[in-house]
Amino acid sequence: MLDTVPPNGLIEVQDVEKVYRTGRLEYPALRGVDLSVEAGDFLSIVGPSGSGKSTILNVITGIDRPTAGTVRVGEALLNDMDEEELAVWRGEHVGIVFQFFQLLPTLTALENAMLPLDFARLGSVTDRIERARHNLALVGLVDKADHLPLELSGGEQQRVAIARALACDPTLLVADEPTGNLDTDTAQHILELLAKLNADGMTVLYVTHDRELAGYANSTVHVKDGRVVDGGLAPDHGIGS
């Protein structure tokens, strides 16, 4: 367990536990996790199904609240924020890519891509459209801006999801099994895209169960049974429990 925050630390997860309660049953998804991520990192989180890797992402993004422990991202201590504050914070600082794309089916690719800007009320509508187009161009889909998700392939939908995640120019991009529903070639393209974003300075975290896909990242954290078992990182990265 770390006693101090590394000088460039963007994310600090300290002794986090997460227990899910369903009726009379309790399921400990995380059993005391410590994790530090520096700004600019490209980190993959690997583990078998049910190991808690997605839960780690959820507590980092505030989608789930830890049962114990603290989570700090940048200057935000997530434990102190209520749901409304978390939603606003996410919109402005975090981009999230889901396994099943989760695009809004009634919005076009452009509209999906500018949705976080609408929530954050950043700039005029024209500015938002321009920014969304820029992000779609970044992911190579500006020619499909007016298409509904129904009219896009799986890979295209995931790229639109990435464009959406980039809407507010976040400091952190997280992706939960971003290639889980894609074929090998498409998966490779998506991860190359994430790598490119990281190369441009964005901190990127992604979860995968595939060790080969995990290798695209600069560093990997292994999770098993709700614990981080192996950092696989350079010694100056702070990890472990």
Using CB under 8 A as the criterion, which residues of the chain lie in contact with another protein when the complex forms?
58, 61-65, 83-84, 86-88, 90-92, 96, 98, 100-108, 111, 115-116, 118-120, 148-151, 157, 164-165, 168
CB contact at 8 A, 45 and 223:
yes
Instruction: For another protein, give the closer residue by CB, 6 or 98.
Output: 98
Q: Tell me whether residue 106 or residue 184 sits nearer to another protein (CB atom).
A: 106
Least separation, in Å, of the C-beta of 30 and another protein?
Answer: 13
Q: Which is nearer to another protein, 34 or 156 (CB)?
A: 156
Shortest distance in whole angstroms from residue 108 CB to another protein: 7
Laid out side by side, the sheet with 9-22 consists of 25-38, 9-22, 68-73, 76-77
How are beta strands 42-46 and 68-73 bridged, if at all? Answer: unpaired
135/157 with CB nearer another protein: 157
Residue with tokens 């560093």: 219
Query: Looking at beta carbons only, is 21 or 75 nearer to another protein?
Result: 21
Q: Which is nearer to another protein, 18 or 237 (CB)?
A: 18
Shortest distance, position 53 Cβ to another protein, whole Å? 14
Q: Work out how close the CB of 181 gets to another protein at its nearest, in angstroms, rounded to a whole number.
A: 8
Q: In the complex, what is the shortest distance from the CB of residue 109 to another protein, in angstroms, rounded to a whole number? A: 12
Nearer to another protein, 170 or 238 (CB): 170
Residue 125 CA to residue 129 CA, distance in Å, equals 6
Smallest distance, another protein to C-beta of residue 86, A: 8
Tokens of 83: 């749901």
**Minimum Å distance from CB 150 to another protein?**
5
